[in-house]
Amino acid sequence: MPAVSFYLPDDVLSHLKAEAKARKKSVSCMIREAVVGHLEKEQKGKAKTQFLRLLKGADLGTWEDVHAERQRAEIGRS
């Protein structure tokens, strides 16, 4: 895995080291997990935005149509 260097304020680094020690992980592992988590969250946010955009453009019918369909579906579940 390639190495990357960057600077953190002293107080942030101290807190990160303490947290890593408490979790019995390396500082590198903590940073890697945080970055991956952030990127995954960003990707999920973009996917959600795209889904909502598609949903807004979909013709789902009127509320009455949707309600009637749900009622028909409920009958089969009993």
* pTM for this prediction: 0.61
- pLDDT for 2 equals 87
Q: What is the pLDDT of residue 59?
A: 83
Distance of CA 5 to the CA centre of its chain: 26
Mean pLDDT of the region 39-68: 91
**Residue 1 exposed, middle or buried by CB count within 10 Å (0-12, 13-18, 19+):** exposed
User: Does the structure show a pLDDT above 90 at 34?
Assistant: yes
Average pLDDT over the chain reads 91
Give the model's pLDDT for residue 74: 85
Please answer whether residues 12 and 1 qualify as being in contact, where contact means their C-beta atoms are separated by less than 8 angstroms: no
Report, as an integer, the average pLDDT of 52-75.
87
Cβ neighbours of residue 26 under 8 Å, at least 6 residues apart? 20
